Amino acid sequence: MNENETSAVVRRPKPGEELKLRVDGLAFGGAGVARTETGLVIFVFGGVPGDELTAYVTKRRKGFIEARAQSIETPSPDRITPECAHFGGPCGGLCGGCKWQNYRYSKQIEWKAQQVRDCLQRIAGISDPPLEPILGMDHPWEYRNKMEYTFSTESDGRLILGLHRSGSFDRIVGLERCLLQTQRSNELRNAARDFCAERSLTSHVIRKHEGLLRNFVIRSSGDDIMACISTHGDEFAKYAPELTADLSPAFPEIKSLLWYISSALHSVAIEGSERLLAGENHLIDTVHDMKLKVSAASFMQTNPTQCALLYEILLDYAGLEGDELVYDLYTGMAPIAMLLSRRARRVIGIESNPNAIADGRENLIVNGIENVELVGGEVEKTFAAQSARNKPDLVVLDPPRIGLHKNALSALITSRPRRIAYVSCNPATLARDAAALIEAGYTLSRARPVDMFPHTAHIECVARFDLI
């Protein structure tokens, strides 16, 4: 290496080293973005745009550095005091539930919209994406209708129930009040924790795979509540009647109390053998005047206020006139399929989860809907076979964060619907799939972000593609 090459090498800070930085942006995923004088990109967890701060390096990655904010020298004008006691000070880093509480909400949604725009420009190659204004919330608190809490034990032996620490899969922050759920749900969680603590029940240790208590899940529909306790093994059998007798009179809102027994080696909260302790094994939810049977494992959007708005946008983007054959991919228990059925000739929903299909078929009966057919099977295989027999006019899809499976994308392009309405919870995979659709002859006509998860980095977006 000659002298010129040596001088061009950029020194990379080591883990533990302190850096003085100014945060200028937000990365997809929520970290602040700063750069050293040499141009090295630093992702700063706990920093918000406009902060001048001291951070310490946590990891060195290829092409960038990860760091955590340690102290704020000059705060951003948009930095605010977090409302949650579990946030972990001005820089956060304690509870991993919502990491943007220290950033003004109006700025949060600006950055979310910008990140959708950036992905569509950078990944999909759309120079000027047709992005409509992001839909935020007037009251961005107590919006979640479902929370999965985890049991753990503090070093002093105290049983806790809460959420994962920021960046950790096995360390838990014990909660007293989570601002993402209602006060009544908080009281229920704390009552369940106290019940178990008074009986000296042990928490499950995932690394050792020992201990009893795994999770406590609270789901709500209006004022009605479903509560599920999950354990490793069935030692809880002698306590289950006591839990029912303890919680039911104190919380008459509980319409469903369930116990799940799981010996799984992973941390899925609702899994294993189900035992009904009180009430029904489901709730009845209402979305756009549709009644939906919601079981413990059912997927539903966790923000009902924003979900109603998202469905309105989706219905608008669908542009149905009454004679269309529509496919709803990843239909779940069929809320979107039922919504579309009001304006379409026929809707075919495809879903791989048999429990969701069973719930969906019951929902069709309850709502008296006869022009929806639900088909069980993996989308990438089932849609190809179905669409070969019955060509779609419109395809609606709401895939997981990884986006469309390559075979599902291929089948979608082969089926050549006139219009596609795509609901995405990951703008990067939306943009990746958009690039493939554009190459296949579609244009992105409209797109609109919806903030389903205030104070977090998660972004939902609805997009419409039209065949040119």
Range list of H helices, 85-211: 105-122, 183-198
Residue pointed to by tokens 């919504």 = 339
pTM of the entire structure?
0.92
Q: Contacts by 32-36 with C-beta closer than 8 Å and gap 24+?
A: 32/69
State which H helix or E strand residue 466 sits in.
Answer: strand 460-467
Q: Is residue 432 part of a domain?
A: yes
Using CA atoms, how far apart are residues 48 and 77, in angstroms rounded to an integer?
10
Give the CA dihedral 259, 264, 265, 268, nearest 10 degrees.
-50
Q: How far apart are the first and last CA of the chain?
A: 54
Using CA atoms, how far apart are residues 224 and 373, in angstroms rounded to an integer?
30
Q: Is residue 443 part of a domain?
A: yes
- In sequence order, the 6+-apart residues with CB closer than 8 A to the CB of 365 are none
Q: Is residue 288 part of a domain?
A: no
Do 258 and 153 lie in one domain? The reply is yes
Do 167 and 184 lie in one domain? The reply is yes
Q: Which amino acid is at 184?
A: R
Do 49 and 186 lie in one domain? The reply is no
End position of a domain, from candidates 232, 247, 281: 281
Query: Residue 297's pLDDT is what?
Result: 87
Our answer to whether residue 119 is catalytic in this structure is no
End position of a domain, from candidates 221, 249, 281: 281
Query: Residue 263's pLDDT is what?
Result: 85
Do 38 and 119 lie in one domain? The reply is no
Q: Is residue 190 part of a domain?
A: yes
Do 457 and 314 lie in one domain? The reply is yes
Do 241 and 315 lie in one domain? The reply is no
Range of the domain at 238: 146-281
In this structure, how many other beta carbons lie within 10 angstroms of the beta carbon of residue 60? 14
Do 276 and 318 lie in one domain? The reply is no
Using CA atoms, how far apart are residues 389 and 373, in angstroms rounded to an integer?
14
Do 347 and 277 lie in one domain? The reply is no
Q: Is residue 294 part of a domain?
A: no
Domain CATH code at residue 346: 3.40.50.150
Q: How many domains does the chain have?
A: 3
C-alpha distances in angstroms, 132 versus 129, 249, 306, 448, 449?
9, 48, 16, 5, 8
Q: Which amino acid is at 418?
A: R
Query: Residue 9's pLDDT is what?
Result: 62
Q: Which amino acid is at 8?
A: A
Do 314 and 443 lie in one domain? The reply is yes
Do 195 and 316 lie in one domain? The reply is no
What percentage of the chain's residues is helix, strand, coil (to nearest 5)? 25, 30, 40
DSSP-derived secondary structure letter, 181: S
Do 462 and 394 lie in one domain? The reply is yes
Q: Is residue 449 part of a domain?
A: yes
The first and second tokens of residue 394, run together, are 């419109």
End position of a domain, from candidates 249, 281, 313: 281
Closest alpha carbon to 332 in 313, 311, 312, 309: 311
Angle among Cα 190, 192, 198 to the nearest 5 degrees reads 100
User: Of 91, 119, 178, 425, which residue is the catalytic one?
Assistant: 425
Do 47 and 122 lie in one domain? The reply is no
Question: At 89, is the secondary structure helix, strand, or coil?
Answer: coil
Angle among Cα 88, 91, 95 to the nearest 5 degrees reads 35
**Which residues, given as ranges, of the chain have pLDDT below 70?**
1-10
C-alpha distances in angstroms, 262 versus 176, 270, 272, 410?
26, 9, 5, 37
Q: Is residue 108 part of a domain?
A: no
Q: Is residue 394 part of a domain?
A: yes
Domain CATH code at residue 277: 2.40.50.1070
Considering Cα of 44, then 49, then 50, then 51, what sign does the dihedral take? negative
Domain CATH code at residue 10: 2.40.50.140
